[in-house]
Structure 1
Amino acid sequence: MHRRRSPLRPRRAPEPPIRGGQVKRIVIVATAAIMAAGGAGVAVSANAATGPSGAAATKGIDWGKCAVSGPDDPMNNAQCAQVEVPLDHARPGGRKISIAVSRFKHTDDKDYKGVLLVNPGGPGGTGIEYAPALARWMGGVGHADVAAKYDIIGFDPRGVGSSKPALTCDPNFSDPIRPDYVPSSWKEEKAWIAKSKKYAQDCAKKFGWLLPHMRTTDAARDVDAIRAALGQQKISWYGFSYGTYFGATYATLFPKRVQHMVLDGNVNPKTVWYDAQLEQDKAFEHNIKAWWAWAAKYDSVYHLGKSEKAVEAKYYAVRAAAKKTPIAGKIGPDELDDIVLSAGYNTGYYIPFAEALSAWVNNEDASGLLGWLSAGGDDNSFAVYNAVQAADARWPRNWSKWHRDAEKLYKQGYRFNTWSNVWFNAPVAFWPFKGGPEFRLQGSRSLPGMLLVQSTQDAATPVAGGLEMHKVFPSSRLVFEVGGKTHANTLNGNACLDDKVAAYLDTGALPAGHRGPDAYCKAVPALNDPDPTAMTAKAARAAAGKDLPVGRP
């Protein structure tokens, strides 16, 4: 799900230029009558038609070319546009914003199944590139035929990326070298408090008019406007991480407009959002220790220690030294934590991060770590992350609670992620308004079966999230990846998972219902516990990770 900026994401090619700047726009107008009937604005244009559902909808978006980074950019094979929506869906005639959308068209005319929207999570993750990416991933696991039956729709949710406006608060907020996440004194903690408070104030000054309209429910209504603009009565959805909560919100608001819905790496609806970070802290401690234990298993390769405790001690020694003298002058303790955090998300990072850490510890070679440093991060994704969570839910406004909860977890042994997670969320404590109330997710008799997938050792969205989401939606079916440590792990090469997803998207097939999980898939040993003596770091990363990020921004 949600979390840090640096590096946070699977390594990838340089960021393509902003999408959507060279495309045509279609205007969305919602009437009060439509709002009353459907709960959201839908698309209307000069060539509008009224479908069987009774809602006005366009015959199509006026698609154009996407901005691309070069001839090999997959976006050359997609189409892009901007879809205009109301800032406030309760006031459809008021101020407008626009949502950047992309389309990777179906090639199977005989068995066309409609549109499949994809969201990579965050909140704050850009989704424009995921239209061709989802088709690519499905083809990579042997199911290109299923992808070919859909128009796959990527989009940047409101405030994100190529959507207009793109929310930013302080582009320099995350520049290295930042104050140590783990405060050793009240003076150090106050420095982070002041930094976080100023960030919230900067957001309010620049985008105070937008912030109250950044709830997930607002974004879900934008999705329904996109649906109508596409001329579709129903949509299918593939949501990773926060995209599960996003999709579940849409399914609650518009159950009759859902065809298929895959939710991978499920948010726990009971912990939205303050308690979610506390549960993450516990789960990440487990997973980072698993990485240290793995490194100890291959001490003959990495020379970092022969036991989990020895590797852990080595890591914290390196971290303490980096606070005094930053590695290569660029990596302090926070930047080091941010780099290796991804090993808690995805086992594909085990080998490359162990290689990089080993090179520094044993040879004072910082090149490996520097190669993973994302100096400054992405303020747009960070700003949207905070804005959505602040608007969605009630958060403690008394700093003493944040402090007490963090101190308690840290003293209980949850050292690695606790304080860094505090500061990643801390601007919300000083947000210009109180968010909430939390939107209540709810199943419906009119909602078709949904497929939920959950890795049992997922740290970003711990396993309880899958079980709770399953309870909320009785028509859903839950598949456990037993022992899986990689976050949102479908379409990564576990055939048991990937085949179930493909069958569901193709025919609607779901496992038989049971109490608790409905089906089980074992984690693939070669991916879950990679062998550095049998594969290179590059091969390990390719074998256990999508080529675009899912989860946190």
Structure 2
Amino acid sequence: MNLAVAVLTLLPLITAPTHSLVWTACPTKQEPTAQCTRVTVPIDREHPEAGTAQIAVARLPAKDPAHRIGSLLVNPGGPGGSGAGFARVGGLDQPGTESLYERFDVVGFDPRGVPESTPRITCSPEKLYDTGLNRFPSTRAEYAAFVEHNRAAGEDCLAKTGPMLGHVDTKSAAEDVDAIRSALGEQRISWFGLSYGTELGAVYASSHPGRVDRMVLDGAVDHARPIRQAMIEEAAATEDALLRFSSWCHGSSECALHGQDVLARYDDLASHGAYAKALGRKATGDELASGAYGFLYLRSNWPELGRALAAKDASELAQNSQYATPTYGAYRSIGCQDFPAPFTGVADMRTTAALVRTVAPHSWRYTEYWDLSAGCTGWPLPARNPPQAHPVHGAPPILVVGGAHDPATPLPWARGLAASIDGSSLLTRLDDGHTGLYNSPCAVAAEVDYLVSGVTPGRGAVCR
């Protein structure tokens, strides 16, 4: 069927938009025109009696309203990232994105459970991360302790959050996106999703293809991938990024460890930990590996990573750790709804851990999929949206962006996601870092041109 005919056929099925929002000024230094509101959604759509949630929404009105294209919803990833905060601090404001602010209302929102939305996911940080716990258990006793730790952490989150904790999966969040669309008064919306935001966007497009105008999925997550496979692929990608950093650092005068054995320094910190004044204690190797991983996200942060590794005080690495972030509870809670642990017991976990160490002999102590999925071993709530295909049929062309040296979302994930979306276009980055928006002027140019024109790059497009 002709695409235009297909879209027109779907239009009568679209819920009539409602103009129910009352906006209030919520300016920031970066975005003085920001406006904020809330959208009410049911916590459990199958059981409305469970109550409602309030989704925090922020909008930056188009600077050129005469040539406005529509609303561009943005999600910075996570899971657990604040989209409303992302919009209000200019998260999309990179060199080359000016026309997006001119032609679109840029709309960010905090997915259900995320900081400014209510009920908010609330967990005790000390119960989520125990410095003495072996996150790679190899004996029955260690495995039992690991399971019990995660169960207790989940029960703590449930007690503090309430029933919402069992409904923070991506499918539920995608239906909230449609509620936002309707409340904005839009027949269709555009989307710019980064990292986990690509999964949320893809799930929305799968469920509501006729309500999509234009969509960029940058740093793609392929939710159809089996968890063990994803663990191994991501571990290999993280190791590749660390090796590329090490090679650059050894040979570049910009690096504080120039001419030294960078990997030996990294291995020593990850194996033995180091004192961090900011923590008032010795940081664990897991914390330091996680902190180093965070610096690999941006190619521009490589010199900073070199300084952090060279420093006698490990505070900079420790404070950059995922475990130190205030959104770690939301990260784990949402993750367990979408990426449940695949393990049947200690032998199974030990075998998978050995594979992770094989492909990531240096960086194995922290990779996101291991932290996310292994951390769900023993979680007390069932996964509402475990790995599965979310094929997209009937949407306009969608742009998927993947990086050959992305430490967090390997290129095979982008290829897999693009293959599940009819008529999609895949843009491949050959540079470093996580997402094109923050690492590749070439990718930014392609993304912006597509969002403004609606025309995707040609087949096999590459940013070198």
TM-score (norm 2): 0.87
1:385 aligns with 2:331: yes
Residue of structure 2 in register with 1:457 after alignment? 405
Does the CA contact (< 8 Å) of 1:355 and 1:368 recur in 2?
A: no
Residue of structure 2 in register with 1:315 after alignment? 266
Instruction: Give per-residue Cα distances to partners, 1:350-373, cap 9 Å, x unaligned.
Output: 10121122232xxxx556557x45
Name the amino acid aligned to 2:335: Q
**Which of residues 88, 97, 119 is equivalent to 2:44?**
88
SS at match of 2:351: helix
Instruction: Give per-residue Cα distances to partners, 1:153-189, cap 9 Å, x unaligned.
Output: 1000000011001112223235685546566977666
Residue of structure 2 in register with 1:248 after alignment? 202
What is the alpha-carbon distance in structure 2 between the residues aligned to residue 481 and residue 383 of structure 1?
Answer: 32
**1:449 positional shift:** 0.6
**Which of residues 296, 300, 305 is equivalent to 1:344?**
296
List alignment gaps of at least 5 residues for structure 1.
1-37, 39-50, 523-553
Does the CA contact (< 8 Å) of 1:233 and 1:257 recur in 2?
A: yes
Change (3 A) 1:475 1:125: same
Instruction: Give per-residue Cα distances to partners, 1:177-207, cap 9 Å, x unaligned.
Output: 5546566977666554442232122234344
SS at match of 1:196: helix
Name the amino acid aligned to 2:408: A
Name the amino acid aligned to 2:268: A
Residue of structure 1 in register with 2:33 after alignment? 77
Bigger shift: residues 221-230 or 210-219: 210-219
**1:455 positional shift:** 1.2
Does the CA contact (< 8 Å) of 2:263 and 2:362 recur in 1?
A: no
1:154 aligns with 2:108: yes
List alignment gaps of at least 5 residues for structure 2.
1-9
Change (3 A) 1:375 1:108: closer
Residue of structure 2 in register with 1:467 after alignment? 415
**Which of residues 346, 363, 368 is equivalent to 1:416?**
363
**1:85 positional shift:** 0.3
Following superposition of structure 1 onto structure 2, how do residues 56-67 of structure 1 map, counting pairs within 5 Å?
Answer: 56-66=16-26
SS at match of 1:386: helix
Does the CA contact (< 8 Å) of 1:278 and 1:418 recur in 2?
A: no
1:497 aligns with 2:443: yes
**1:415 positional shift:** 4.0
Name the amino acid aligned to 1:128: A
Name the amino acid aligned to 2:55: I
What is the alpha-carbon distance in structure 1 between the residues aligned to residue 15 and residue 389 of structure 2?
Answer: 25
Following superposition of structure 1 onto structure 2, how do residues 176-187 of structure 1 map, counting pairs within 5 Å?
Answer: 177=131, 179=133, 181=135
Name the amino acid aligned to 1:61: L
Does the CA contact (< 8 Å) of 1:176 and 1:330 recur in 2?
A: no
Name the amino acid aligned to 1:110: A
Residue of structure 2 in register with 1:195 after alignment? 149
Following superposition of structure 1 onto structure 2, how do residues 2-41 of structure 1 map, counting pairs within 5 Å?
Answer: none
Residues paired across the two proteins, number: 450
Residue of structure 1 in register with 2:58 after alignment? 102
Name the amino acid aligned to 1:59: H
**Which of residues 473, 477, 483 is equivalent to 2:425?**
477
Change (3 A) 1:468 1:181: same
Name the amino acid aligned to 2:103: K
**Which of residues 211, 215, 231 is equivalent to 1:277?**
231
Name the amino acid aligned to 1:403: R
**1:469 positional shift:** 1.3
SS at match of 2:432: coil
Change (3 A) 1:145 1:182: same
Bigger shift: residues 455-464 or 211-220: 211-220
Instruction: Give per-residue Cα distances to partners, 1:40-87, cap 9 Å, x unaligned.
Output: xxxxxxxxxxx9666243224101133x7xxx6335421111111011
SS at match of 1:110: helix
Name the amino acid aligned to 2:463: C
What is the alpha-carbon distance in structure 2 between the residues aligned to residue 122 and residue 350 of structure 1?
Answer: 21
Does the CA contact (< 8 Å) of 2:58 and 2:108 recur in 1?
A: yes
SS at match of 1:345: coil
**1:212 positional shift:** 3.0
TM-score (norm 1): 0.74
**1:443 positional shift:** 2.2
Identity of aligned residues (%): 30
Name the amino acid aligned to 2:153: Y
Instruction: Give per-residue Cα distances to partners, 1:4-52, cap 9 Å, x unaligned.
Output: xxxxxxxxxxxxxxxxxxxxxxxxxxxxxxxxxx9xxxxxxxxxxxx96
Name the amino acid aligned to 2:417: M
**1:432 positional shift:** 2.2
What is the alpha-carbon distance in structure 1 between the residues aligned to residue 61 and residue 255 of structure 2?
Answer: 46
**Which of residues 511, 518, 537 is equivalent to 2:457?**
511
SS at match of 1:291: helix
Name the amino acid aligned to 1:469: L
**RMSD between superposed Cα atoms in Å:** 3.0
**Which of residues 179, 188, 194 is equivalent to 1:225?**
179
What is the alpha-carbon distance in structure 2 between the residues aligned to residue 375 and residue 228 of structure 1?
Answer: 35
SS at match of 1:454: strand
What is the alpha-carbon distance in structure 2 between the residues aligned to residue 465 and residue 412 of structure 1?
Answer: 17
SS at match of 1:428: coil
1:354 aligns with 2:313: no
Residue of structure 2 in register with 1:404 after alignment? 351
Change (3 A) 1:369 1:434: closer
Residue of structure 2 in register with 1:112 after alignment? 68
